[in-house]
Structure 1
Amino acid sequence: MTPHTNNKGAAPDSAASSENILDIVLGLLEDAKAEETVSIDIRGKSSLADNMIVTSGRSNRHVGAIADQLSRELREKGFGKPKVEGVPQCDWVLVDAGDVIVHIFRPEVREFYNIEKMWSANAPSDATH
């Protein structure tokens, strides 16, 4: 058995790896009863990741459980240990899985920050004033 390493570095086929992890994350969020899940392709908008997912849990406990389940599943599938931030409060938990960044919010916090609107916005095509 070989140890798993985090695939934040270059992978042999990072496009296939990115799509595979995206499918795993989206499936897990559905199984965990996450609500209003939105997947945003941020390739070309950011060098942080290829995809950003924004989703909601019903309560602090649900947000924490989703983050824990996601982190565990990614490790078990060989994607390494994702970086997780925001767990003590569980109002907004960020799970950085390399090619996919997942934001898990309580509904009120998600509405306040509205990050999917910011990341989904297209840059203006003409910069005239």
Structure 2
Amino acid sequence: MNEKELLQIAAKAADDKRAEDMIVLDMKGISLVSDYFIICHGNSDKQVQAIAREMKEKVEEAGFDVRKMEGFDEARWVLVDMGDVVAHIFHKDDRSYYKLERLWGDAPSLTAQELNI
């Protein structure tokens, strides 16, 4: 399995839990941390946690490792580190505050169609 498959599995898991305004940024050559960032949000603490939980479960079922998950209990900004893919799952209010998309605005984005979700 490769990073593209990991990206597809993680993005589909978020989509299955109705993550809103999902953006996937191609961070190759921009970040040393990972190759892809998934940025999305939920409208409640429970939805943010459901998105993160589904992502972790589906990724692990597919044989990939989740290195770390931070912020789950607070459910304001959950970071799911899967190595080549890092997901940022925000509560709607916090996403507009941090504006990660703008911070990494020079990174090309991938569409849901390109990800086959």
**What TM-score range do you get, normalising by the shorter chain?**
0.7 to 0.9
- Does residue 62 (structure 1) correspond to residue 52 (structure 2)? The answer is no
Q: How many residues align?
A: 107
Equivalent pair of 1:49/1:98 in contact (CA under 8 Å): yes
User: How far 1:40 moved relative to its partner?
Assistant: 0.4
Give the secondary structure class of the aligned counterpart of 1:120: coil
Q: Please show how residues 4-23 of structure 1 align to structure 2 within 5 Å.
A: 17-23=2-8
Q: Please show how residues 82-97 of structure 1 align to structure 2 within 5 Å.
A: 82-97=67-82
Residue of structure 1 aligned with 2:106, choices 107, 115, 121: 121
RMSD: 1.2
Question: Which piece of structure 1 moves more, 40-49 or 113-122?
Answer: 113-122
Give the secondary structure class of the aligned counterpart of 2:104: helix
- Does residue 46 (structure 1) correspond to residue 31 (structure 2)? The answer is yes
Normalization by structure 2: what TM-score? 0.86
The one-letter amino acid paired with 2:35 is D
Matching residue of 2:87: 102
Equivalent pair of 2:38/2:88 in contact (CA under 8 Å): yes
Q: Which has the higher contact order (CA 8 A, sep 6+)?
A: 2
Aligned counterparts of 1:80 and 1:39: Cα–Cα separation in 2: 19
5+ residue gaps, structure 1: 1-15, 123-129
Moved over 3 A (4+): none
The one-letter amino acid paired with 1:58 is N
5+ residue gaps, structure 2: 108-117
User: How far 1:111 moved relative to its partner?
Assistant: 0.2
User: How far 1:76 moved relative to its partner?
Assistant: 0.8
Give the secondary structure class of the aligned counterpart of 1:24: helix
Question: Which piece of structure 1 moves more, 26-35 or 95-104?
Answer: 26-35
The structure richer in strand per residue is 2
